[in-house]
Amino acid sequence: MTWEEVIFYVIAAVTVLAGAGVVFSRSIIHAALFLILALLSVAGIFVLMAADFLAIVQVLVYGGAVTILILFSMMLTRVRDLPTAPDGPQKPFAFVAAVVFTVSSIAAIVSTEWRGESTENISVVPFEDIGTALFTSWAVPFEIASLVLMAALVGAIVLARGEEGE
Amino acid sequence: MIPINNFLILSTILFSLGMYGVLARRSAVLILMSVELMLQAVSINFIAFAVYLFPEAFTGIIFAVFVITIAAAEVGLALAIVLRLFRNKGTANVDEADIMRW
């Protein structure tokens, strides 16, 4: 077992445990803190796949913005008054669905012959290449994504502010 | 060299955890957090396929960038809706928001 694999298994274990913490923990605050851990360790997974740019974006956008938003919304919805969130009645069905999905797709993954598996060393995609691709062959989706962000921004402000004179 | 199967199985487990969370949780904020987990699993899959199967054309990496962008927009909007729900009904549980209008 190489060092790379050891690092992978450690980070993967942290990711899975933190993910389990998000969905199984009784307290909403604990779930949010586990979510931060899970997102940051996914950034580590990105580094192992030589996707450095995405790891940086992940830490900036998820570790920073998304987590802050979620914590703020918890403050505003007063979770302190109801710190534990009981789960719904469909819990056993959810468990069965998740287990069935896991087993079937792991079986599918293991039984497939991936043709790229023999790649000896993957190289880091240069940041310049990603930028060039984004602004040339992916320019239209890029612009649409900025429109989506704009619409989401305006929509969030309108929704959260409420009607006049309320 | 880590085989691609490891990444795919990790992302499957992460996706199932998120799926369980979406189906079993009642609080809208917790459901949103589970959706984030599922999106992370999707990003891992995209990047794994991009770097292992098509290293010359990094389409998967571009897709992961868009996934992160859309996820950011989605979190902002969804939390605004949760806030609105809480202000109108005094709860953020999805099973208590069961009428379409009032």
Q: Per residue in A86-106, pLDDT tens?
A: 667 788 888 999 999 999 999
Q: Could you tell me the pTM of the whole model?
A: 0.88
Rg (CA), chain A: 20
Closest residue in B to A20 (Cα) is B17
Q: Which amino acid is at A140?
A: V
Q: Is residue A118 scored above 60 in pLDDT? A: no
A88-100 burial, b at 16+ Cβ within 10 Å, e below that, comes to beeeeebeebbee
Q: Is residue A75 less than 8 Å (CB to CB) from chain B?
A: no
Span B25-37, mean pLDDT?
A: 88
pLDDT of residue A2: 82
Q: Is residue B66 less than 8 Å (CB to CB) from chain A?
A: yes
Q: Is residue A3 scored above 60 in pLDDT? A: yes
Q: Is residue B38 less than 8 Å (CB to CB) from chain A?
A: no
Angle (CA) A9 A13 A19, round 5°: 145
* Residue A115 Cα, gap to closest chain B Cα (Å): 7
* Residue A41 Cα, gap to closest chain B Cα (Å): 11
* N-to-C CA span, chain A: 63
pLDDT confidence of A70, banded at 50, 70, 90? confident
Query: Which of residues B17 and A125 earns the better pLDDT score?
Result: B17
Tell me if A28 and B29 make a contact (CB, 8 A cut-off).
yes
Distance of alpha carbon B90 from the chain centroid:
26
Asked if residue A45 lies in contact with residue B44, where contact means CB atoms within 8 angstroms, the answer is yes
DSSP class of residue A89 equals T
pLDDT of residue A85: 61
